[in-house]
Amino acid sequence: MNIRRSLAAAALVAAVSAPVALAAAPASAEELPAGRSQSDAPPASDQAPAPAGDPASDDAAKQDAADRAEIERIVADPRTGRGVREAATKALAGTPQDRRHFLTVDYPRLRAQDNRVRVMQLIADPTTGRGVREAAQKAMSGTDADVEHFLTVDYPRLRAQDNRVRLVQLIADQNNSQYLREAAQKAMSGTDAEIEHFLTVELKKIIADDNRIKVARILGEKGIGRILREAAEKAMHGTDADVLKFLADLPSIRAADDRLRVSQLAETGGPEVRKAALAALAANTPEALRAFLTTGLPEAEAKDKAAAGRTTTGQGTTGQGGTGTQGKGGSTVTPASATTGTTTATTGTTAAWTTTTGATTGADRLASTGTDAPLAGIAAAGGTAVALGAAALVAARRRSQA
């Protein structure tokens, strides 16, 4: 009896539970992905909501931003070498992996190479001071770390010391203009940075001005020839580089100009001038030509002038003693008017020779002869005006810089 009751209760429970189980099964099946069973799905408690952002992705973005900023700093640094700069520019245009690879692999290697190139440039630079050059040569025989230490630590200190030595040399060199030496003396009391600025910026301007003053003085030289004058005027109207080139070529230009002037004097001068001019041409050296024009020519002109004076005196005596009328003892007495006329004529001849000689010499010093003498005088006046104008311009520029 009891068994029957238990079976009946079990059947009743099964009948009530079956519809509920059947209704829940389809819903669970719809929620599962294809190919997975209900037993494969993780428990509901283990399923967490998706995160708002991936931490690993955020870190990568921050790293690349930092890498990009560092590479941009390297490119902007004026001390960066060519090899590093080119590789850095390429990395900036690449991927984040390219930038990371550049900073961790390429940059150290390329920087070491560029450092050695920089040190070799310092050694080869003629303006490099003794202290820097000796330390640079020592660094080149060391490691990459030694070269790096030289460029970042030793070089700035040694360059400052060499700069001050350079100033002392500029001040002591009497070939430099007074203006340059005074400017160097003033810079000597400044800081290392101010001295660096003077040597790299201001000194170049002062030297350029001084060079133009030198050319202006050449244009103002007495007796400057055509070749030298034209070359000097062309330089004065050109750039600072043109002026520098003219001064470098000055010895050869002056030699050509001197040769032309001496050749002209050998044809048109007095006897002694021609003799000395031919001797200078025969020597055929710039020194001989210059010596003739500076010392030999005045001496030869003086001899010609003295000889002309003796000739004048001799002609006047002969005229008085040999052309008079005869008096007692067969002598001849000449009227005073005739004697005076002869003497005057003779003196006039001598004066004409002297004037001609002077005109020839002056024309020659202006690199012209004969009918070109007036034009040469005009050209010389023009050259002098250019020289004075250039000197005034340089003086004005210096006043504006003071």
Quick one: three-class SS letters along the chain? CHHHHHHHHHHHHHHHHHHHHHHHHHHHHHHCCCCCCCCCCCCHHHCCCCCCCCHHHHHHHHHHHHHHHHHHHHHHCCCCCHHHHHHHHHHHCCCHHHHHHHHHHHHHHHHHHHHHHHHHHHHHCCCCCHHHHHHHHHHHCCCHHHHHHHHHHHHHHHHHHHHHHHHHHHHHCCCCCHHHHHHHHHHHCCCHHHHHHHHHHHHHHHHHHHHHHHHHHHHCCCCCCHHHHHHHHHHHCCCHHHHHHHHHHHHHHHHHHHHHHHHHHHHHCCHHHHHHHHHHHHHCCHHHHHHHHHHHHHHHHHHHHHHHHHHHHHHHHHHHHHCCCECHHHCECCCHHHHHHHHHHHHHHHHHHHHHHHHHHHHHHCCCCHHHHHHHHHHHHHHHHHHHHHHHHHHHHHHHHC
Is 273 inside a domain boundary? Answer: yes
Are 216 and 125 contained in the same domain? no
- Please count the structural domains in the chain: 2
Name the domain boundary from 172, 187, 204.
172
Predicted TM-score (pTM) above 0.75: no
Token output for 321: 């003693």
The total of other beta-carbon atoms located within 10 Å of residue 296's CB is 22
What are the distances in angstroms from CA 285 to CA 158, 246, 256, 370?
46, 21, 11, 27
Instruction: Indicate whether 143 and 246 sit together in one domain.
Output: no
Please tell me whether residues 285 and 396 are part of one structural domain.
Answer: yes
**Whether residue 375 has pLDDT greater than 90:** no
Residue 156 falls inside a structural domain: yes
- Provide the CA 86 distance to its chain's centre, in angstroms: 27
Is residue 98 in a domain?
yes
- Our measurement of the distance from residue 196's CA atom to the centroid of its chain's CA atoms, rounded to an integer in Å, reads 16
**221 shares a domain with 149:** no
How far apart are the C-alpha atoms of 342 and 202, rounded to whole Å? 71
Residue 102 in domain: yes
Per-chain mean pLDDT for the chain: 76
Same domain membership, residue 268 and residue 141: no
* pLDDT recorded at residue 310: 77
Q: What is the pLDDT of residue 343?
A: 36
Domain boundary among 121, 146, 172: 172
The reported pLDDT for the residue numbered 336 is 35
Work out the percent of the chain whose per-residue pLDDT is above 90. 55
Torsion on CA atoms 251, 256, 262, 268, rounded to nearest 10: -150
Enumerate residues 6+ apart whose C-beta is below 8 A from 172: none
Instruction: Give yes or no: residues 121 and 226 share one domain.
Output: no
Q: Which of 145, 172, 199 is the last residue of a domain?
A: 172
pLDDT (mean) for 225-250: 95
**What per-residue confidence (pLDDT) applies to 352?**
32
Is a pLDDT exceeding 50 seen at residue 341? no
What is the per-residue pLDDT across 315-339, written as a single tens digit (0 to 9) for each? 554 444 444 444 444 433 333 333 3
Count of C-beta atoms within a 10 Å radius of residue 2: 6
- Do 164 and 218 lie in one domain? The reply is no
Quick check: 293 and 264 in contact, CB under 8 A? Answer: no
146 lies in some domain:
yes
137 occurs within a structural domain: yes
Name the residue among 257, 252, 305, 296 with its Cα closest to residue 277: 296
* One domain, residues 140 and 272: no
Q: What per-residue confidence (pLDDT) applies to 58?
A: 85
Instruction: From 253, 188, 193, select the one nearest 225 (Cα to Cα).
Output: 253
pLDDT at 216 over 90: yes
- Give the pLDDT of residue 314: 58
* 171 pLDDT more than 60: yes
Cross-strand bridge partners of residue 284: none
Give residue 223's pLDDT band: very low, low, confident or very high (50, 70, 90): confident
Question: What average pLDDT score do residues 86-109 get?
Answer: 95
> What gap in Å lies between CA 95 and CA 111, rounded to an integer?
21
Indicate if 149 and 71 belong to the same structural domain.
yes
pLDDT at position 224, please? 87
Range(s) of the domain holding residue 98: 62-172
* CA gap 291, 327 in Å, rounded: 57
pLDDT in tens, 46-87: 555 545 557 778 889 999 999 999 999 999 999 899 999 999
Task: For residue 324, tell me if it sits in a domain.
Answer: no
- pLDDT for 284: 86
Instruction: Evaluate whether residue 123 is within a structural domain.
Output: yes
Residue 37 pLDDT > 90: no
Angle at 134 (CA atoms; ends 131, 137), nearest 5 degrees: 145
Residue 5 is encoded by which pair of tokens? Answer: 């009751």
